Structure 1
Amino acid sequence: MIYLNKENMVFLKPRKVAGTSFEMALSRFALNKDIVTPISPDDEQERKNLGFCSCQNYLDQNGKQIFNNHISAADAKNKLERSIWEEAEKCAIVRNPFDVYVSLFYYHNGREADISKLSDWYLGGRGTSYLGVNHKQYFIKGEMIIDRFIRYENFEEDILELEKSVPSFKGLYDTFRNIKAKSGVRSNASYELEAVYSKHPDLKSEIGRLHSFEITNFGYTVL
C-alpha cells in the first residue's frame, strides 16, 4: 500500500499484477509524511538504489506495524484517517483472473511446477486460501471501492492516462517500465490459458463464478 498526500491517492496492492513494480514507481513521488509499506528485502534495496522513498510511516508510535504490503481495503479504511479515506482516490491494478491463478500457482510451487496439479492445489490444497484473490483490495462487504483500475494488459495506456489526470505523476510510466521487481521468482513457463483450463473445467467454473466482476467489467476470458 502507498498513500500519497499531494496526489491524494491510496494505492491498494493486489497479488500477481506487477504490483511491486508499480508500487516502487509510485514511491518515487512519495514525500516525508506519505505512507510507503515495506516490500521484499531485494526489492527494497533496489528501491533505495533508484533513489526512491523507502518504507516509512507504516508503524504506530509503539513500533507495531499497522499498514502492510497487501493490506485489505477494509483494514486500510479502518486505519487511515477518515478524511483521507473518504477524499482520496483509491487505485488498484486488475488482471485477467484466469491468468492470476496460473501465475500464483507457479509463484508458490516453482517455475517447473506441474500445471496438471492446478485444480488439486486450488480446490483441495494450499491454494484454497487464494480463491477470490484480490477482492479484499477491491471490495468492502461486497461494495466495490476502487475509483481507478489500471489494467495489467494495458499498463501503458492506463498509466499515461493517470499522468494526464495527475500532472505531478509526470514520468510515472517511464519509471514503471524500467523496473522489473521480483524477476527472480516469476515463472518462466509459457502457457496458453485455453489449453490450461481445458484440463481444469471445475476450477475454470469456480473462477468464473468468483470473478464475475472482472469478467463482466473488463471482458476477461481464458482465450
Structure 2
Amino acid sequence: MVFLNNEKIIFLKARKVAGTSFEIALSRFAKAEDIITPISPNDERLREELGFASCQNYLDQNGNQIFKNHISASEAKKKLGCTIWNEVEKCSIVRNPFDVYISLFYYQNGSAADISKLTEWYFDGKGSSYLGINHQQYFVKDKMIIDRFVRYENFEEDIQKLEEAVPALKGLYSIFSNIKAKSGIRSNASYDLDAIYYNHPELKDKIRSLHSFEIAKFGYHAL
C-alpha cells in the first residue's frame, strides 16, 4: 500500500500483478507525511539503492503495524477514516484472473511445479485461501471501490493516463518500466492459458464465477 496525501491517491496492492514494482515507483514521489508499507528485504534494498522513500508511517505510536502491504480495502478505509477515504482516488492493478491463478501457483510452489496439480492445489491444498483473493483490494462489502484500474496487460497506456490526470506523477511509467522487483513482469506468452485450463475445467468454471466482474469489465478471455 502507498498513500500519497498531496496527490490524494491510495494504491491498494493486489497479488501477482507487478504491484511491488509499481509501489516502488510510486514511492519516488512520496513525502515525509505519506504512508508506505514495508516490502521484502531485497525489494527494500532496491528501493534504497534507487534513492526513493522507504517504508514509513505504517506503525501507530506504540510501534504496532496498522498498515500492511496487501491491506484490504475495508481495513484501509477503517484505518484512514471515512473523511480521507471518501476524498482520495483508490487505485489498483488488475490482471487476467486466469493468468493470476497460474502465476500464484508457480510463485507458491516453484517454477518447476507440476501444473497438472493446479486444481488439486486450489481446491484441496493450501491454494484454497487464494480463491478470489484480489477482491479484498477491489471491493468493500460487495461494492467495487476502485476509481482507477491499471491493467497489467496495458501498463504503459494506463500509467501514462494516470500521469496525465496527476501531473505531479510525471515520469512514473519511465521509473516503473525500469524496476524489476520479484523477477519483474512475467509475460502471458510464457504459458498457454487455453491449453492449461483445458485440463482443469472445474477450476476454470470456479474462476469464471468468482471473477465475472473482471471478465465483464475488462474483456478478459473467459476460455
* TM-score range for the pair, normalised by the shorter chain length: over 0.9
Q: Tell me the residue number matched to 2:70.
A: 70
Secondary structure of residue in 1 paired with 2:32: coil
Q: Tell me the residue number matched to 1:168.
A: 168
Displacement of 1:123 in angstroms is 1.0
Contact conserved, 2:208 with 2:222, CA < 8 A, in 1? Answer: no
Displacement of 1:190 in angstroms is 2.7
Secondary structure of residue in 1 paired with 2:91: strand
Map 1:1-223 to 2 at 5 A: 1-183=1-183, 190-222=190-222
Secondary structure of residue in 1 paired with 2:103: helix
Displacement of 1:94 in angstroms is 0.3
- Gaps in structure 1 of 5+ consecutive residues: none
Displacement of 1:222 in angstroms is 4.9
Contact conserved, 1:110 with 1:187, CA < 8 A, in 2? Answer: no
Runs of 4+ in 1 over 2 A off after TM superposition: 186-190
Displacement of 1:126 in angstroms is 0.5
Secondary structure of residue in 1 paired with 2:106: helix
TM-score by length of 1: 0.97
Displacement of 1:81 in angstroms is 3.1
Displacement of 1:119 in angstroms is 0.2
After superposition, the C-alpha distances for 1:70-92 in whole angstroms (9 at most, x for unaligned) are 00000000000322111000000
Percent identical among aligned pairs is: 69
- Gaps in structure 2 of 5+ consecutive residues: none
TM-score by length of 2: 0.97
Contact conserved, 1:3 with 1:9, CA < 8 A, in 2? Answer: yes
Q: What residue identity is the alignment partner of 2:58?
A: Y
**RMSD of the alignment, in Å?**
1.7
Partner Cα separation in structure 2 for residue 189 and residue 128 of structure 1: 26
Q: What residue identity is the alignment partner of 2:87?
A: E
